Structure 1
């Protein structure tokens, strides 16, 4: 069991939007990623730790494609939503200021796609000095091979990759 201090940790959920969750992702479906993320968000909220949802908007278009909002379940649990216009959640957004305002120094990640938005945001997070962890059950990619490469080769270089049952918050 890995216990995180809720006063210093935020859950960051990447691109859990209807149009992305509905893609054919692996090694689990988008619905399974959302279910795991909801379980995490409920734990974090119960412990008083912030839940931040990050979603992407296409730059330079008059209207976003259908399904560009967060899934209803994630929208209901997010303390704040950050809109990004690049692959990662830090560049050109208020994410770092928001996290600093919450006083956190550790980020726990879930979302789609493991090797794209999640990994890009996590790389920038480490550049900003955050400790990071990844909940393997709350991640998926466009292929199982991409997910596996990210969770076994890349992400462990930045932080811990943990299964959902091992995530706990101190005092809860």
Structure 2
């Protein structure tokens, strides 16, 4: 397990951002707005890319419908060349998506999480990741939920049992340390 203040190895770490899509970022969220989550997530993604860590963008599509609702794409400008985009059709990002295989091909053993909603898409993806043996880090201020209580329950009660909860500013990659 990585020490809480230790920089993350970018060769073994991926940033996973869940459901940063227009229609989800626009929801009434707490304890911060979708735009605040997006800004923090974009800053975190820029640091990950600079360090050479993969950025994985997970978005949801509703199964068995002819067309997805408006705003179902990733927020414009979020995806950059080289990012991995994964489409899920369940709450979590692993089931039936090939995400585990994509990460394994790259030697990733640690995942940093952000996204919306903290207690739904992020938590479901994180629980599956824990079951698969990944070390987990949660960027608390790169997430929001439909209520502050739901966000707090995930970040204060559940996530510490699965990994480390840090402010995004304390998610540091090895080549960015000190």
Identify the TM-score tier after normalising by the shorter chain: over 0.9
Question: What is the correspondence of 1:81-100 to structure 2 with a 5 Å cutoff?
Answer: 81-100=85-104
Of the structure 1 ranges 53-62 and 69-78, higher mean CA displacement relative to structure 2 is found in 69-78
Question: What is the correspondence of 1:13-162 to structure 2 with a 5 Å cutoff?
Answer: 13-76=17-80, 79-162=83-166
Please tell me the root mean square deviation across aligned C-alpha atoms, in Å.
Answer: 1.0
| 1:162–1:78 Cα change, 3 Å | farther
Higher relative strand content? 1
The unaligned stretches of length 5 or more in structure 1 are none
| 1:58–1:87 Cα change, 3 Å | same
Q: Deviations over 1:4-44 (max 9, x none)?
A: 00000000000000000000000000000000000000000
Q: 1:113, 1:31 → 2: CA distance?
A: 13
Which residue of structure 2 lines up, in the alignment, with residue 169 of structure 1? 173
The unaligned stretches of length 5 or more in structure 2 are none
The answer on whether the counterparts of 1:110 and 1:139 sit within 8 Å (CA) in structure 2 is yes
Q: Deviations over 1:82-124 (max 9, x none)?
A: 0000000001111001101111000000000000000000000
List structure 1 runs of 4+ shifted beyond 3 angstroms: none
Q: Deviations over 1:35-74 (max 9, x none)?
A: 0000000000000000000000000000000000000132
| 1:77–1:135 Cα change, 3 Å | farther
The answer on whether the counterparts of 1:41 and 1:77 sit within 8 Å (CA) in structure 2 is no
Q: CA deviation at 1:76?
A: 2.9
Q: 1:77, 1:33 → 2: CA distance?
A: 21
Q: 2:118, 2:6 → 1: CA distance?
A: 21
Q: CA deviation at 1:75?
A: 1.9
Q: CA deviation at 1:77?
A: 6.4
